[in-house]
Chains A and B, each alone.
Chain A
Amino acid sequence: MKLKVIVTLKNGVLDPQGKAIQQTLNGMNFSEVKEVRQGKYFDIEINTNDENKAKDKVEEMCKKLLANLVIEDYKIL
């Protein structure tokens, strides 16, 4: 089965790329854009049909590699 993971910077952690994207969007007349935070998206195909088991595994992967919990949060979809 396939699981999706989104990793984002925690609130308060500086995101220079997000800031640059926001400023560019403002410059393109999307003046309503107040903030952009950039994140990462992973598609993970895992060799099991047991959804709970797969989620547990992916959660472990997030904690050990995919996210750095000092600065990032993860969401499994």
Chain B
Amino acid sequence: MKSSVIIFPGSNCDRDMDVALKKFGFKNQMVWHNDQSIPKSDLIVLPGGFSYGDYLRCGSIASKSKVIKSVIDFANSGGLVLGICNGFQILTETGLLPGVLLQNKYQKFICKNVHVKINDKENKYFKNIKKEVLELHIAHNEGNYFCSEDEIKSLYDNNQIAVTYCDEKGQEDEKFNPNGALKNIAGIFSKNKNILGMMPHPERMIDKYLSSNDGNFFFENLIENLK
């Protein structure tokens, strides 16, 4: 399986993602934001970080970069596009995913482990995954998911809510919501579920000696589903 990780100026999780993808068997290549084409891939990843210094709005400048047209074409032809953290922000700014990531409700940069509940397994990302709840890491200042009433209704109607903040048992409650996100939303799919944007970082959870193991479930499962 081939994957491509796009690097923007200010991306800082691109190499972590590269390590994670390779660990689970992807042949990964790094693609620079000024490239106009992307090598043939089964998966494109927009990594976390602070693309273009978060100028104007997080992800807004990256969403107009040269490489993005190829990402949009790939996504619109059904290709798998995964956006983590800043990558999620970029996906909303391109319009590939609805809504927007606002500044955290309590005005703090949040850097900690959280639990998220997998809400839907009828997709390439979570099909057959052996867990219902994953412990992942978040590190963001703008992770407060927001969208219009019509959009949130449409997200529910089409089972597009991917992951939601919860406790270790999977119980969703406002007290487990770190950033004020609407309906505890940590990640969403596009309508046909080929695009996934989420704030938590699975690539930071792939080594039990350094962090936790739960990112392994995500990547192992993803490559199996792509075979």
Contact = CB atoms under 8 A, between A and B. Distances in A.
Contacts of A71: 100, 102, 146
B106 A66 contact: no
Contacts of A13: 102, 146
Nearest to A15: B103
Main secondary structure of the interface of A (DSSP, over half): helix
A50 B146 CA distance: 39
B56 A66 contact: yes
Interface string A15-33: 0110010000000000000
Interface of A: 13-14, 16-17, 20, 64-66, 68, 70-71
B60 A68 contact: yes
B155 interface: no
B135 interface: no
Contact of B144 (A14, A17, A64, A68): A14
Contacts of B107: 16-17, 20
A14 B106 CA distance: 11
Interface of B: 56-57, 60, 64, 92-93, 98-100, 102-107, 144, 146-148, 180
Given A14-B103, A68-B60, A70-B99, 8 more contacts: A14-B180, A16-B105, A16-B106, A17-B103, A17-B107, A20-B107, A64-B64, A71-B146
Nearest to A9: B102
A28 to B, nearest CB: 18
A16 B142 CA distance: 11
Interface centre among A13, A66, A70 (most CB of B within 10 A): A70
Instruction: Name the 4 nearest CB pairs between A and B, nearest first.
Output: A16-B107, A70-B100, A71-B100, A16-B103
A55 B68 CA distance: 27
Nearest to A66: B56
Contacts of B60: 65, 68
